[in-house]
């Protein structure tokens, strides 16, 4: 589930303890579950990152990136249940990777923990990753999109706006949870075909994307009832308490106080909305 705000929180959490340090060792933890998806294979990643300094820790969409001094980039995609942690994993059995870091500080290891093991770890050589981003690989990061960018993208599509929001090639970083919240704040019905949105609705949508994602980052993301998502110190996020519609089916709408939150399924994913606040065109 980690979406843009959760990955940004992980990146901000580990950055002060990871940037500027050297990777002494990268170790695959003994986990009996299916291994992570590595590209190239783990032994090659291990050999190439060992002894490298970590120049910067960044986020792109729902991926965390360790930029190495030699220009290589180690890109970690948490997917469903992955976490980057400095301490206290939710359980030791699903620890997958340990970066042993040079020097003695408060934290001397970075961990990747993943219960379902759908996370991916990819090593890109020699600024290859920067080039891919420049070419538009991964789409545009949702936090960088302006109203004009949204206009250009929605005009071209007859897909339901909720489905479009989840398309990472349209805007990278938004997932199922924040898509429902964004459409609620924008007062847009989730089944509205993207190309019939009015200019006013597109403007509201652009503002809501920024507002919801930035506020969720300030609250260190959302920890849902499954408890999976944790920040770098294994603490819960706080934004779940601010959700207006997500996972609230059958409850009275917090915005209008009249409507009842409905749940529908779009492309196999749940969507939550208030039909009073988000009227169908």
Is 3 assigned a catalytic role?
yes
By CB under 5 A, residue 255 contacts Zn ion? yes
Separation CA 54–CA 107 (nearest Å): 15
By CB under 5 A, residue 160 contacts Zn ion? no
By CB under 5 A, residue 276 contacts Zn ion? yes
By CB under 5 A, residue 190 contacts Zn ion? no
CA distances from 112 to 30, 249, 261 (A): 13, 33, 36
Q: Are 221 and 9 in contact (CB under 8 A)?
A: yes
Separation CA 223–CA 179 (nearest Å): 16
Report DSSP letters for 254-276, one per residue.
Answer: TTTSSSBEEEEEETTEEEEEETT
Name, in order, each residue with C-beta under 8 angstroms of 122's C-beta and a sequence gap of 6 or more.
38, 39, 74, 75, 77
Catalytic residue, chosen from 15, 58, 269, 276, is 269
Among 253, 271, 272, 273, binds Zn ion (CB under 5 A): 253
Catalytic residue, chosen from 21, 59, 60, 62, is 62
CB atoms near residue 69 (< 10 Å): 13
Among 76, 138, 212, 277, binds Zn ion (CB under 5 A): 277
Is 269 assigned a catalytic role?
yes
Q: In the complex with Zn ion, which residue's Cβ is closer, 78 or 259?
A: 259
The least distance separating Zn ion from the CB of residue 180, rounded to whole angstroms, comes to 13
By CB under 5 A, residue 119 contacts Zn ion? no
The least distance separating Zn ion from the CB of residue 279, rounded to whole angstroms, comes to 10
Separation CA 25–CA 212 (nearest Å): 38
By CB under 5 A, residue 245 contacts Zn ion? no
Q: Look-up: residue for tokens 């065109």?
A: 281
Number of residues that bind Zn ion (CB under 5 A): 7
Q: In the complex with Zn ion, which residue's Cβ is closer, 233 or 275?
A: 275
Catalytic residues, by residue number, are 2-3, 62, 269
* Contacts with Zn ion, residue ranges (CB under 5 A): 253, 255-256, 259, 274, 276-277
């Amino acid at each position: 589930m980690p979406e843009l705000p959760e990955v940004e929180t992980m990146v901000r959490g580990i950055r002060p303890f990871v940037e500027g340090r050297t990777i002494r060792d990268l170790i695959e933890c003994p986990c009996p579950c299916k291994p992570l998806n590595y590209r190239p294979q783990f032994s090659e990643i291990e050999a190439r990152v060992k002894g490298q300094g970590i120049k910067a820790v960044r986020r792109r969409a729902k991926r965390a990136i360790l930029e190495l001094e030699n220009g290589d980039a180690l890109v970690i995609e948490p997917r469903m249940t992955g976490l980057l942690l400095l301490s206290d994993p939710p359980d030791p059995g699903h620890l997958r990777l340990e970066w042993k870091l040079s020097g003695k500080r408060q934290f001397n290891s970075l961990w990747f923990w993943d219960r379902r093991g759908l996370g991916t770890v990819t090593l890109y050589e020699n600024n290859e990753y920067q080039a891919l981003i420049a070419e538009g690989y991964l789409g545009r990061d949702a936090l960088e999109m302006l109203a004009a960018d949204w206009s250009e993208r929605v005009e071209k599509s007859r897909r339901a706006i909720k489905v479009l929001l989840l398309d990472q090639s349209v805007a990278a970083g938004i997932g199922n949870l924040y898509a429902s919240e964004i459409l609620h704040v924008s007062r847009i019905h989730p089944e509205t075909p993207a190309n019939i949105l009015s200019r006013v609705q597109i403007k509201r949508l652009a503002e809501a994307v920024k507002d919801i994602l930035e506020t969720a980052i300030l609250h260190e993301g959302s920890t849902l009832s499954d408890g999976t998502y944790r920040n770098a110190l294994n603490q819960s996020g706080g934004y779940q308490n601010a959700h207006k519609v997500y996972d609230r089916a059958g409850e009275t709408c917090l915005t209008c106080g009249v409507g009842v939150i409905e749940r529908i399924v779009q492309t196999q994913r749940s969507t939550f909305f208030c039909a009073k606040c988000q009227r169908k065109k």
